[in-house]
Amino acid sequence: MAKKGDWVRIHRVVLDAAGRAPGVPEDTAKVPLEMWVKGELKADAQIGDEVEVITATGRTEYGELIEVHPYYTHSYGKFVPELIEIDKQLREELFGGGK
């Protein structure tokens, strides 16, 4: 249950696949144009409900409630062994490695 005033993320289909612009690539033409935006919930709601929010600039947007208290999870990524290899190679090339 999300409360009125909660900061949430909503999702909406802006153009369905049939309404896409002419000339988009075939794969893109098969899928809808979707939008995600965040804002303050205007009334109590459940995940999956059609809701209205007030965005950071004060606009009203509507869409399906998909996340309450949204947060970022992007990171510095998983281990990439090639980076250790590059570092070793650079030290070797420029400073003669461990010599």
Partner 1 sequence: MALAKDYASVMGRNNEIMKKALGLDYEEFESGRLRFDYEELMTSTGYTLEEIQRIQALTGVGNTPILELRNLTALARKYAKPGYGATILAKDEASNPSGSFKARRAACAVAHAKKLGYKGVMAATSGNYGAAVASQAAMQGLKCIIVQECFDSKGIGQPEIIEKARRCEAYGAEVVQLSVGPELFYSFLSILEDTGYFNASLYSPFGIAGVETLGYEIAQQCRARYGKDPAMVVCTSAGGGMVTGTARGLIKAGAKSQCVGASIDLTGLHMASDTQFNLKSCTTGHTGFGVPYAVDPDHSDVPRSAARPLRYLERYVTVTQGDVMYITEALANLEGVERGPAGNTALAAAFALAQELPVDEYIITSETEYTGAGKHLQPQLDFARDNGIEIFFGDPGTEDKPGTNIVLPKSPAYIKTKDMDMDRLRASFIRRACRKRDIMNPCDDDIKFLMEETLASEEFVRGVIAEMNK
Provide, rounded to whole angstroms, the least separation between the CB of residue 35 and partner 1.
5
Find out whether 38 and 55 touch, Cβ atoms under 8 Å.
Answer: yes
Nearer to partner 1, 39 or 51 (CB): 39
Nearer to partner 1, 1 or 98 (CB): 98
Nearer to partner 1, 69 or 82 (CB): 82
Q: Give the phi and the psi of residue 63 in degrees, each rounded to 5.
A: 165, -170
Both tokens of residue 22? 């002419």
- Which residues bind to partner 1, rule: CB under 8 A? 14-15, 19-21, 24-25, 27-28, 30-39, 55-59, 72, 74-80, 82-83, 85-87, 89-91, 93-94
Q: Which residue has the tokens 């995600």?
A: 36
User: Measured between alpha carbons, how far is 55 from 61 in angstroms, rounded to an integer?
Assistant: 7
